Structure 1
Amino acid sequence: MFKHLREDIQTVFDQDPAARNALEVILTYSGLHAIWAHRLAHAFYKRKFYFIARVISQISRFFTGVEIHPGAVIGSRFFIDHGMGVVIGETCEIGDNVTIFQGVTLGGTGKEKGKRHPTIQDNALVATGAKVLGSIIVGENSKVGAGSVVLKDVPPNSTVVGIPGRVVIKDGVKVKGKDFNHTDLPDPVADRCNDLENQILVLKKMLTEAQQKGESRQNGH
């Protein structure tokens, strides 16, 4: 248990340059508190003490702003940055070295039974406000851009952005979550709008040339 506690604290130092000392991290990081509360709730959940587990998770939600269902399975070195508004569903599976930011939802898409929440594999990152919905897989070393809505599987070593989420980088350089830079994400919607604008300019040019040719012919007659 103490090994996990030290590892969690070290993860905060590795991921957040604002962390200054261990006491500050232990007392003030709500994401860390939410993870520790979840570990306790999950232990009761596995032993079928469901009511106690839910009470612990709801108390944690009240104090941290992070809602993690006690049934969710979370790996080592999980980091929640800021944390407010994070929701993690019952059948979520989160691997090792995963980072998520505030406002992220790892949720379901309906009232189906069984596995209905996402699986986030090792070294993945889910950025601010992203929604990952349904029984899908976000592959290893992949990134979900801020504000994206992901409804389909994300291949390993990929970057997904947009609504709905689109893969814009695949099989690129392996990037750890802590090296992620929000400002470097491609924007497929803007790219598509630029393509359409260029096509309109070409069509306008062709139309102008056709009109000029028509006028020349009329003047020639």
Structure 2
Amino acid sequence: MTTWQLIHSDYKKYRKYGGSFIGIVFFTQGFWAIFQYRLANAVYRKIKWQPFRLVFKGLLFLWQKVIELTTGISIPASVQIGHSFYIGHFGGIFLNQDVIIGNNCNLSQNVTVGVSGLGEKRGVPIIGDNVYIAANSIVAGKIFIADGALIGACSLVTSDVAPQTTVLGVPAQVISQNGSKEYI
């Protein structure tokens, strides 16, 4: 998908949850962060000629910092995020620069997806498609969150999560095989 198609898919996801054009574009901090990320990611992936790359990356990095300070949402340009990404609430969202997130995923407020572990287990998560990560959750380490998984509020996930599974707690444990279908 092109950058504009990705932005449009994100916008359609926000519309699905009941937002108007004015509300989404001018008053939804999650959409601001995603819009800025999509443009920065396009520059990160596509512009290779160093003089242009340096100038654009510098400007977009400053814009990212303004968005980060304004919204409390940090999405580095190098993160890989699929289409129809949705941040449901304001603030406290931090993604490691090496994170991979699939298509049609939702994050709530105060979610951290980052690096953890020791030795061979050190790394960042790969998150599949149709995953919902609820408020105040941490997903960390070289793990895989499979398609359709749901991570409940206030959870610490440091091991793989199977498809269509709901996990909850510290450390997160399987509580259901219902997954994210009703939440996405």
TM-score class, shorter-chain normalisation, is 0.7 to 0.9
Is it true that 1:12 corresponds to 2:26 in the alignment? no
Distance 1:124 1:95 in 2: 8
* 1:154 aligned residue: 161
Q: What letter matches 1:13 in structure 2?
A: R
Runs of 5+ unmatched residues, structure 1: 179-221
Structure 2, unpaired ranges of 5+:
none
Cα gap change, 1:56/1:111 in structure 2, threshold over 3 Å: closer, same or farther?
farther
For the Cα contact (< 8 Å) 2:129–2:146, is it kept in 1?
Answer: yes
Q: Report the Cα offset of residue 13 of structure 1.
A: 2.0
State the match for 2:87 in structure 1.
80
By relative contact order (CA 8 Å, sep 6+), the higher-ranking structure is 2
CA distance 1:77–1:174, shift in 2 (3 Å):
closer
1:203-214 → structure 2 map (5 Å cutoff):
none
Structure 2 Cα separation of the partners of residues 118 and 128 of structure 1: 17
Query: Partner amino acid for 2:102?
Result: G
User: Does structure 1 conserve the Cα–Cα contact (< 8 Å) formed by 2:93 and 2:111?
Assistant: yes
What is the CA distance between 1:112 and its match in structure 2? 7.1
Count of matched residue pairs: 174
Q: How many angstroms apart in 1 are the aligned matches of 2:179 and 2:167?
A: 15
For the Cα contact (< 8 Å) 1:123–1:177, is it kept in 2?
Answer: no
1:2 positional shift:
4.1
The answer on whether the counterparts of 1:90 and 1:117 sit within 8 Å (CA) in structure 2 is no
Q: TM-score scaled to structure 1, two decimals? A: 0.71
Q: Quick one: which amino acid aligns to residue 91 of structure 2?
A: M
**C-alpha distance in 2 between matches for 1:71 and 1:126:** 20
The 3-state SS of whatever aligns with 2:25 is helix
Match of 1:100 among 101, 107, 110: 107
Q: Report whether the alignment pairs 1:24 with 2:29.
A: no
Structure that is richer in helix per residue:
1
Q: CA shift at 1:173, angstroms?
A: 6.9
In structure 1, the partner of 2:132 is 125
Aligned to 1:41: 40
Deviations along 1:56-97, whole A, 9 cap, x unmatched? 322221222100121100000000011300001111111111
Amino acid at match of 1:177: Y
Question: Structure 2 CA distance, aligned partners of 1:151 and 1:165?
Answer: 8
